[in-house]
Amino acid sequence: MTDTAISVQNVGKCYRIYDRPHDRLKQMFLYQFGRRYGREFWALKDVSFEVKKGESVGIIGRNGSGKSTLLQIIAGTLQPTTGSVQVNGRVAALLELGSGFNPEYTGRENVYMNASILGLTRAETDARFDEIAAFADIGQFLDQPVKTYSSGMMVRLAFAVQTAVNPDILIVDEALSVGDVFFQQKCFSRVRGMLKAGTTLLFVSHDTAAVQNLCATAVLLEKGAPWFTGSPVEATSLYYLMQTKAAFKNTLATSVQLKSESVDESSVEAKELNILTNNILSSGNANQGEKELELLAVTAQNENGDYTLEIPVMSTVTIQVLMVAHRYIQMPNFGFTLIDRMNTVIFSSSSWHKGYKLKPMLPEEKRIVTFKICLSVQPGEYSFALGCAEINPLDMQNALTLNRILGLGPLVVIKDPNTISPFGGIANLKMEVLLGNDAPAAMSHQQNTDHDYSMHAYSLEGEDLILWRLLKNKSAGFYVDIGACHPCQYSNTHFFYCHGWHGINVDATPGSMALFKKHRPKDINIETVVSSHAGSRKFYMFAEPALNSCDGTLSMDRASRGNKIINTVEVASRTLSNILSTYIPPNAVIDFMNIDVEGSELDVLQSNDWTRFKPLYIMVEISAFGKKNGFNVREIITSEVGKYLQTAGYELAAKTFDTAIYSIQKSSPNEC
């Protein structure tokens, strides 16, 4: 028994196009005498692929690439000109809107007619009718003629019927793009359920996020021919990079070449090569200016460093531009503009607007400019423009445009359908929630995806609320974060890094310091653990990262309570005094230091002469993980660490009643 559901071998579909209507009549009668009228148009040419049973395959491509024609041939509603198609199993196809429906029949009558065509008996349809009606959810219109239906109602009923017959193969052509978001979510849930049950899916859509979400493999068509078959992520990236056949071939050829070569990423030549290799400049539809400063190549990367035009909402896209000057440019300026599908400028700025005064460029000098833009905009497709100009030194409000390229992209901002949107509207404006005392409010839930490091990013548990109030009138200084864990918005020190403080971050968790070095390059980031002695310590890694610890007793206790240890490693250990003496300038003041109440912190504090550095504030954290009844501020105050700090000259300065993080400093008590 074969495990192949669909086999497409060398399929081609040719249409004859006639310039005049009577040429079609001549062709009917005179072709047998060798006369030919009109010209051939191949909608598909030499398409071959196989789909295994239970596999999900997406087909993507630009309008006119042959996607719908291919599905019609597979569904059997169109015959191929060349090649063959073999389909094994019952097929349910959602092709054109309303296909298979008689507009004069009611919805109920069309359900029975379609079910009969799909091979169900009257009794089988009766048994499934209530399920179909409930899924379509069109109410009293079920007994009205289909010709009175809206497009959304029609696709609801069609999808309900086609998926209720338990087909072996489900073919969908853009049908899920019709209907409201709630119905689309219901459709995707049913399709996933069918995939788990072993149904084969052939899915055509311009919604690349849906293709990636549903499909294990993707076929990219261009001008009727298959250009790529493989990972949906790679296929969609190539889909957006592909503008012309030549540009696409260059992308494929150079990307393969890069994989086989070892390139020094730090060298200027290597950076130029990467930009030229992954160049998307050919996608632009207008090139303006005299090109005395010329844009040569442009790339787009996501936060993982992948070259792609598909970027998650609220994450950062990195645009790199390679350019060359053909004369002396005294005051160069580089700009970026984001434009939506309605041709509205969503955002526009330049190096000059952001306060960067760039060095002059000599004739034939090349330069790479990098834009990092947080895409806090509504998910969808955008084009973007890049430009370079020369500022007039006598009138700095004016600039001469030297080169500007429009219509780059499309830049596709995507959103995970399983997450809550972080904002509504077309853009995410900077917003702070203030309490009555004008301090920023602590966040009460996990919905925080602001990655723009230039804006305030308050941590989730409220520690920034405390520190902001205590330090808001002080100029930027130093902080020490022991067990730093995360460099971005989940960190209590991220706010202060964004506002110019200098930090020492210490963490032994594998991978944490790599993130710190990426996102906090101006901080001192140490891959070690603070201990009462130098040497090495065992570090226990749990399945829950927040439980990771170098404290053996605490870790074994957590393990005995059912928390799984996934690894144990030896980590370097340094004393607190050694770290502070090495990295803190002699006359500098430490504004605040962050430690945990759990683990070996008491041993660390008691064994080191750290008080000579006189941190203004010491913040003590307590973890709520594994605590059935939550946590209480008294656990901090009555802990050995809390008692020790009081004997060391520190007093309780501020506390919150609903967070896990607390602050202790030399001051009179003052609750937030």
pLDDT tens for residues 271-310? 888 888 889 887 666 677 788 899 999 999 998 888 999 9
The pLDDT tens digits of the residues spanning 318-368 come to 999 999 999 999 889 999 999 887 677 888 888 888 877 788 999 999 999
At 301 the pLDDT is 92
Q: How many CB atoms lie within 10 A of CB 468?
A: 17
664 versus 125: the higher-pLDDT residue is 125
Residue 635 belongs to a domain with what CATH number?
3.40.50.150
Expressed as residue numbers, the domain containing 627 is 463-665
Last residue of a domain, one of 414, 441, 475: 414
Under the banding of pLDDT at 50, 70 and 90, the label for residue 266 is very low
Give the residues across from 434 on adjacent strands: 440
Distance, CA of 201 to CA of 192 (rounded, Å): 10
> How far is residue 531 from each of residues 7, 370, 593, 606, measured CA to CA in Å?
64, 41, 15, 11
Tokens of 345: 């400028």
Predicted local confidence at residue 489, as pLDDT: 58
Q: Is 372 a domain residue?
A: yes
**Between 92 and 336, whose confidence is greater?**
336
Please report, for residues 90, 112, 226, 232, 365, the alpha-carbon distance to residue 134 in angstroms, rounded to integers and kept in the order given.
24, 15, 39, 33, 68
Q: Are residues 477 and 592 in the same domain?
A: yes
Assess if residue 122 is contained within a domain: no
| Segment (H or E) for 634 | helix 634-637
Residue 202 resides in a domain: no
Return the bridge partners of 317, or none. Answer: 373
Which residue would you say has higher pLDDT here, 564 or 598? 564
| Amino acid (one-letter) located at 504 | I
Q: What are 522's strand-pairing partners?
A: none
Q: Which residues contact 214 (CB under 8 A, 6 or more apart)?
A: 56, 58, 188, 191, 192, 195, 201, 203
8 A C-beta contact, residue 493 and residue 484: yes
pLDDT of 420 reads 65
Q: Is the pLDDT of residue 658 over 50?
A: no
The per-residue pLDDT for 106 is 92
Kindly state the tokens that stand for 619: 């913040």
Report the candidate in 271, 291, 264, 449 with the shortest Cα–Cα distance to residue 370: 271
- What is the reported pLDDT for 250? 45
> For residue 305, is it within any domain?
yes
Domain membership of residue 282 (yes or no) is: yes
> What is the rounded CA–CA span in Å between residue 635 and residue 86?
70
What's 162's DSSP letter? H
Residue 513 falls within a domain, yes or no? yes
Co-location of 359 and 469 in the same domain: no
CATH code, domain with 287: 2.70.50.60
Q: Could you give the 3-state DSSP secondary structure of residue 628? A: coil
Same domain for 398 and 475, yes or no, is: no
Structural element, H or E, at residue 85: strand 82-87
Q: Which of 14-23, 167-176, 607-616 has the lowest mean pLDDT?
A: 607-616
**Per-residue model confidence (pLDDT) at position 298:** 93
pLDDT for 454 equals 27
Are residues 535 and 648 located together in one domain of the fold? yes
Of 379, 414, 449, which residue sits at a domain end?
414
For residues 407 and 487, state if they share a domain.
no
Q: Are residues 394 and 504 in the same domain?
A: no
The two structure tokens encoding residue 642: 């809390």
Identify the pLDDT of residue 1: 57
The residue type of 375 is: L
Lowest mean pLDDT: which of 52-61, 71-80, 541-550? 541-550
Where does a domain end: 389, 414, 439? 414
Instruction: Identify the bridge partners of residue 49 per DSSP, sorted by sequence position.
Output: 8
Question: Are 478 and 555 found together in one domain?
Answer: yes
CA–CA dist 256, 261 (Å, integer): 9
Residues 480 and 562 reside in one and the same domain: yes
Strand order in the sheet with 651-654: 524-527, 502-507, 478-482, 590-596, 617-621, 661-665, 651-654
Portion of the chain with pLDDT greater than 70, in percent: 75
Asked whether residue 589 is assigned to any structural domain, the reply reads yes
Per-residue pLDDT at 662 exceeds 50: no
Query: What's the CA gap between 150 and 28, in Å, rounded?
Result: 40
Q: What is the pLDDT of residue 325?
A: 93
Q: Quick check: 223 pLDDT over 80?
A: yes
Looking at the structure, do residues 349 and 467 belong to the same domain, yes or no?
no
Measuring CA to CA, how many Å separate 12 from each of 70, 87, 223, 443? 9, 17, 12, 58
How large is the angle between the packed helices 232-241 and 245-260, nearest 10 degrees?
A: 130
The total number of structural domains in the chain stands at 2
Residue 386: per-residue pLDDT = 92
Lowest mean pLDDT among 298-312, 360-374, 615-629: 615-629
Specify whether 403 is located in the same domain as 291.
yes
| Same structural domain, 392 and 474 | no
What proportion of the chain, given as a percentage, has pLDDT over 90? 8
Q: What confidence score (pLDDT) does residue 423 get? A: 75
Of 671 and 98, the one with more pLDDT? 98
pLDDT confidence of residue 622: 61
The residue type at 55:
E
Taking a C-beta distance cutoff of 8 angstroms, is the pair 456, 432 a contact? yes
Please report where in the chains the tokens 């579909």 appear, as a residue: 13
CA-CA distance, 672 to 668, in Å (whole number)?
A: 13
Q: Are residues 401 and 488 in the same domain?
A: no
Q: How far apart are alpha carbons 354 and 578 in whole angstroms? A: 40
- Measured CA to CA in angstroms, residue 269 lies from 276, 294, 359, 363, 411 at distances of 10, 18, 20, 18, 27
Q: What are phi and psi of 314, to 5 degrees?
A: 70, 5
662 vs 484: CA distance, rounded Å: 15
Query: Which residue reads 């219901």 in tokens?
Result: 186
Residue 659 in domain = yes
